[in-house]
Amino acid sequence: MNFLKNLKTLTLALILSLGISYAYAAWAPPSVAPTGGNTDAPVNVGNVTQVKGGGLGVTGLLEVGIPSGAGSLLMKTYGNIGADKYCDRDGNNCIAATALGGAGGIGVGQTWQDVTASRAINGPVYQNTTGKPIVVSIDIIRMQIGWGGVETKVLVGPTSPPIVRVGYVAAGYPANGQDEETFTVIVPDGNYYQVFGNSLRYWTELR
């Protein structure tokens, strides 16, 4: 009987000893003094301003402000903002970043090129695919109506064939039977352009 009682006491003492030793070995004191080392507060829906030290990725729609806040400052940055396109609030009327002169604007990284040999009038439609606006300068010989003279015009637009008239001289009676008309126009990125007239003298483009 005493033997069993002593065995129970010894077993209990051994269990307590092992438990205390494990608990002591697993515990480690704080590495910094309170309240340092606390877990950062999560981004939440509260009204308190929060500053995040790292980046913030959003794969869905990010809305800033509320309708009643229209007209107030809703966002400010201390660096650059990049985007492929810039649109209105509803995602419409987008403008490509390249069309805003992001590569330095007209004339920056561009040179005047004589493209007369690869251009023709009265039919062919050309498109600006350079990624930024270009300047097109055309010199047309205009004939008298009695000599087969026709109206001289330059068309530009986002569709093909273009329909917006940006340069025009009506058929008429120039002195000596003919004269020359020079048109210089800007063609936005992605737009089409087309020229009509009697005879092409030269065609140059800043691109």
pLDDT score at 85: 81
pLDDT score at 104: 64
Q: pTM of the prediction?
A: 0.53
CATH (one of 3.10.360, 2.60.40, 3.30.160, 2.60.120) for 112-206: 2.60.120
- Domain map (residue ranges) of the chain: 112-206
Residue 22 has pLDDT above 60, yes or no: no
Average pLDDT score, the chain? 79
pLDDT score at 190: 94
Decide which of 179 and 163 is more confident.
163
**Span 61-87, average pLDDT:** 74
Q: Cβ(136)–Cβ(185) under 8 Å? A: yes
Decide which of 69 and 51 is more confident.
51
Residue 203's alpha-carbon distances to 118, 181, 192, in angstroms, are 9, 12, 16
137 pairs with which residues across the strands? 184, 204
pLDDT score at 95: 76
Q: Quote the radius of gyration of the chain (alpha carbons, Å).
A: 38
The string of pLDDT tens digits covering residues 100-111 is: 655 567 888 899
Percent of the chain surpassing pLDDT 90: 31
Among candidate residues 188, 187, 194, the one with its CA nearest the CA of residue 162: 194
Spell out the alpha helix ranges (H) of 36-86.
none
Residue 72 has pLDDT above 90, yes or no: no
Q: How far apart are CA 169 and CA 150, in angstroms?
A: 9
